[in-house]
Amino acid sequence: MAAAFSRSCFALCLLFVLLASPSTGQLSSSFYSTTCPTLEATVLLTMTTAVLQEPRIGASILRLFFHDCFVNGCDASVLLDDTATFTGEKSAAPNANSLRGFDVIDDIKSAVELGCPGTVSCADILAIAARDGVSLLGGPSWTVLLGRRDATTASASDANSNLPGPGSSLSQLISSFAAKGLNARDMTALSGAHTIGQARCVSFRSHIYNDANIDPTFAAQLQGTCPSSGGDNNLSPLDAQTPDTFDNAYYENLVAQQGLLHSDQELFNGGSQDAVVQEYSTDASTFFGDFATAMVTMGNISPLTGASGQIRLNCRTVN
């Protein structure tokens, strides 16, 4: 009887631990409420300083988060440097010479480690920083669900095959996002991230020289920055109206056939998303709400939780 009681007690205790643990696979807004209550304030302070110094960094961190989540889930694999055993995502074609903001994530991680050593994942830091970058530039805020853990490897080939490119068609964009659990409206809302930031000439050259669905005056202006050959790294704002403000001007640009990338203008080109673009172009609050909702959905793509992965002490390297 004593043995049976002992087994029952053990089972009940194990059940209690599993139910009480915040690491059972479900992301939560209160994941660090007791283990690192200063987390969000720490991230916001560092992001505020970074954005004040360079507004573009808000867009760069947001892009880091997107490129992380679309490749094997939101696991901070995009932050890993190459090693002798793997070539990581930084070396992939969509990321090489274009992803930036790694130093800002390093600064945030260092600040968080001072207050909460070995507790907060780089994946969660990136998710919060992306939200704060948007909010600091005038965009919406949202509750970031937390509890992700960090990957221990990364793959350039996975990044090459999972990230939609600037030459994507509408059907390719819809399919790419659908594969990650995001519907067409989510895709169109998330594309509104291009209301901030800049793109390299190599990303939009074909659009401004070869496509017909572009305002001729707009194309001619861009050709002054982006020659038909050379100047691959010359930059132009994704939203020429308000490049450092998160607003709905991106959609106004699309209606005027002034999308910078081929993939941008595909959203308003006689296809299924024309009505959504029209709606967002005249209703910023609806865009903000849909963007925030889609960001939460994207942040929940295949996170590592529980005993999976690790809490990296340095976001660039595996422990």
What are 123's two structure tokens?
Answer: 């994946």
Q: Is 73 annotated as a binding residue?
A: yes
| Whole-number Å distance between alpha carbons of 130 and 138 | 13
| Whole-number Å distance between alpha carbons of 220 and 200 | 16
Residue 67 is among the residues annotated as catalytic for this protein: yes
Tell me which of 56, 63, 67, 131 is the catalytic residue.
Answer: 67
Q: State the amino acid at position 140 in one-letter form.
A: P
Q: Is 164 annotated as a binding residue?
A: yes
Tokens 């194990």 map to which residue? 14
What are 130's two structure tokens?
Answer: 């992306």
> Hey, how many other C-beta atoms are within 10 angstroms of the C-beta on 110?
12
Q: Is 303 annotated as a binding residue?
A: no
Q: Please, are residues 173 and 82 in contact by the beta-carbon 8 Å criterion?
A: no
Q: Please, are residues 316 and 152 in contact by the beta-carbon 8 Å criterion?
A: no
| Whole-number Å distance between alpha carbons of 25 and 18 | 11
309-to-75, 150, 154, 180, 274 alpha-carbon distances in Å:
8, 5, 12, 20, 41
Q: Is 71 annotated as a binding residue?
A: yes
Q: Is 264 annotated as a binding residue?
A: no
| Whole-number Å distance between alpha carbons of 279 and 189 | 11
Radius of gyration (Cα) for the chain, nearest Å? 21
Q: Is 242 annotated as a binding residue?
A: yes
DSSP conformational letter for 232: T
Q: Is 75 annotated as a binding residue?
A: yes
- Count H helices, E strands: the chain? 14, 2
Q: Is 195 annotated as a binding residue?
A: yes
| Residues tagged in the binding site annotation | 68, 71, 73, 75, 77, 89, 164, 194-195, 239, 242, 247
Tell me the catalytic residues. 67
Binding residues for heme b: 194
Annotated binding site for Ca(2+): 68, 71, 73, 75, 77, 89, 195, 239, 242, 247
Binding residues for substrate: 164
